[in-house]
């Protein structure tokens, strides 16, 4: 640019060279908007792709179809069997799938039985059983009427360990101390025993659930054996075998129900007894024994009425611990 006095400066204009292969007089090229996502320009597939000739049709089955195979079947079992069959695709089945039909259910039942046995024989449970056995032994030796009459006070020390009875005030005081120690030990183990009780009760509920699942799987396998018989007789035979096996598992669950309930209920009752005895009955009984010892210090004899009332509490505790 040339500089001239009194004139304004003007910018020098430089023309762009024309693009190759393009008419200078044509329209300007379209510039893409950088704010528009390329994903928006990609077509979206709204339906699943499919391979021509490959279908995965579900089995058409109703509750009425299943009740034809087992008229006395329960409603919950029917629902579970329909759910199993609703996920079954005949075209995708295999010998391995047929062999493993319901296998997890049977495995779960074995695990529950094993866990129940382990819980019932846990160290905490065995220790609690030892506490109860010793407490019953001490309580069973009490002869409170003999203490009330004092007939063995003079010669009690000579026969101590011979007649096996707690029938003197001195023996009663010693027994009270051991009972208090046992009750304290049982209270200390109570939290862990309550946890075991909860686990045992969960095992009872799980066993009932497994029974329903086993019955449903057996019913569904029986249906599949008939459904697959015309086209796949080999697989149909396997499903029939699985139905028989699951039915046998169900029969074991039902036949062992009384034994299993006894096996489970005994620890549950034991824990409940320990809880009630250590927190309610035994503190009251020990307070009464302490009162007897206090009377003995003041040379006040135990009356037969008081001995009878204490004897009632004694037998009540024994019955609770034996329940």
Of 82-91, 97-106, 167-176, the poorest mean pLDDT is in 167-176
Of 117-121, 129-133, 182-186, 249-253, the poorest mean pLDDT is in 117-121
The residue behind tokens 């028989």 is: 244
Vertex 214 angle, CA 213 and 218, to 5°: 115
Residues 6+ apart with CB under 8 A from 119: 125, 196, 199, 200, 203, 267
Exposed / middle / buried, residue 255 (Cβ in 10 Å: 0-12, 13-18, 19+): exposed
DSSP labels, 9-49: --PPP-PPPPPTTS-TTSPPPPPPPTTS-GGGGSPP--S--
**Does residue 37 surpass a pLDDT of 60?**
no
**Does residue 14 surpass a pLDDT of 70?**
no
Q: With contact defined as beta carbons under 8 Å apart, do 85 and 221 qualify?
A: no
CA distances from 125 to 130, 193, 207 (A): 9, 7, 21
Q: Any alpha helices (H) in the chain, and if so which ranges?
A: 63-69, 75-86, 95-99, 103-120, 123-140, 144-149, 156-159, 169-188, 190-228, 233-255, 257-276, 282-297, 304-322
| pLDDT classification of 101: cutoffs 50, 70, 90 | very high
Q: With contact defined as beta carbons under 8 Å apart, do 103 and 244 qualify?
A: no
Residues 6+ apart with CB under 8 A from 67: 73, 78
Query: Comparing 57 with 136, which gets the higher pLDDT?
Result: 136
Q: In whole angstroms, give the CA distance from residue 91 to residue 136.
A: 66
pTM to 2 decimal places: 0.64
Q: In whole angstroms, give the CA distance from residue 29 to residue 164.
A: 115
Of 2-6, 106-110, 252-256, 275-279, the poorest mean pLDDT is in 2-6
| pLDDT classification of 85: cutoffs 50, 70, 90 | very high
């Amino acid at each position: 640019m040339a500089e001239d006095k009194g004139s304004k400066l003007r910018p020098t204009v430089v023309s762009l060279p024309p693009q190759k292969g393009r008419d200078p007089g044509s329209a300007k090229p379209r510039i893409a908007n950088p704010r528009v996502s390329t994903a928006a320009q990609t077509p979206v597939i709204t339906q699943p792709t499919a391979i021509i000739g490959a279908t995965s049709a579900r089995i058409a089955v109703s509750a009425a179809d299943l009740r034809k195979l087992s008229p006395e079947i329960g409603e919950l079992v029917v629902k579970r069997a329909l759910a199993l069959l609703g996920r079954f695709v005949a075209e995708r089945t295999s010998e391995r799938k047929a062999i493993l039909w319901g296998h997890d259910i049977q495995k779960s039942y074995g695990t529950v039985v094993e866990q129940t046995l382990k819980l019932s024989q846990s160290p905490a449970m065995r220790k609690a059983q030892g506490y109860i056995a010793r407490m019953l032994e001490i309580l069973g030796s009490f002869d409170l009427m003999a203490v009330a009459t004092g007939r063995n006070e003079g010669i009690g020390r000579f026969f101590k360990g011979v007649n096996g009875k707690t029938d003197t005030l001195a023996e009663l005081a010693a027994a009270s101390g051991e009972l208090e120690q046992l009750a304290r030990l049982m209270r200390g183990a109570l939290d862990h025993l309550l946890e075991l009780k909860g686990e045992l009760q969960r095992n009872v509920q799980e066993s009932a659930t497994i029974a329903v699942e086993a019955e449903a799987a057996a019913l569904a396998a029986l249906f599949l054996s008939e459904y697959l018989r015309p086209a796949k007789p080999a697989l149909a035979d396997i499903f029939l075998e699985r139905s028989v096996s699951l039915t046998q598992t169900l029969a074991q669950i039902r036949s062992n129900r009384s034994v299993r309930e006894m096996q489970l209920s005994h620890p549950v009752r034991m824990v409940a007894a320990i809880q009630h005895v250590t927190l309610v009955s035994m503190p009251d009984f020990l307070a009464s024994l302490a009162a007897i010892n206090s009377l003995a210090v003041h040379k006040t004899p135990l009356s037969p009425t008081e001995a009878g009332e204490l004897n009632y509490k004694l037998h009540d505790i024994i019955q609770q611990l034996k329940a």
